[in-house]
Amino acid sequence: MYGIATILLISITCGMIHGNMTPEQRVKFFNFQNECMQETGATDDMVLKAFAGELTDSPVFKNHLVCVGMKGGVMDDAGNLNRDVMKKGIMMFVEDEVKVDAMMDKCDMHYDTKQDTAFNMMKCMFKEHFGA
């Protein structure tokens, strides 16, 4: 399915690794991560810290989030979020549809760049889900 609606976005956090992803979804997710790390120069440290809630506002990491989001179908070339794909991904980790809808409503904001949109969305989603 769509591995990222997962970092990105929700992408997206520690729970992602242990969520209700199938083995095929996990493989796709990790492939997206690896491909995007190679394409953007994001480091293992950046990605691992992100799963722990420590998001760096580095341009490299922001580009990584955009890359993963686009590969997962969560974000298009213009930086628009595909809410249906994102919701399906989030629902793999948060089984409360009302909560997911509220998180998406609060966190789906557009910024000047798709990098800032992806970064701020992930930051907001992490805060809304984990309270951090």
| Amino acid 93: pLDDT | 77
Widest Cα–Cα separation across the chain: 37
Token digits for 52?
């722990």
Which pTM value belongs to this model? 0.80
DSSP code of residue 60: H
What's the CATH code of the domain at 67?
A: 1.10.238.20
In a domain, 16, yes or no: no
In a domain, 12, yes or no: no
Nearest-angstrom CA–CA distance, 100 and 112: 25
Whether the CB-CB separation of 57 and 119 falls below 8 Å is answered with yes
In a domain, 121, yes or no: yes
In a domain, 56, yes or no: yes
In a domain, 7, yes or no: no
Token digits for 47?
């990605």
In a domain, 100, yes or no: yes
| Amino acid 91: pLDDT | 84
Domain count, the chain: 1
User: What is the distance of C-alpha 94 from the center of its chain?
Assistant: 14
Kindly give the parts of the chain with pLDDT less than 70: 1-21, 132
Q: Is 118 left (phi over 0), alpha (psi -120 to 50) or beta?
A: alpha
Q: Torsion angle of alpha carbons 9, 10, 14, 19, nearest 10°?
A: -130
In a domain, 3, yes or no: no
In a domain, 59, yes or no: yes
| Amino acid 2: pLDDT | 33
Which range of residues forms the domain containing residue 105? 23-130
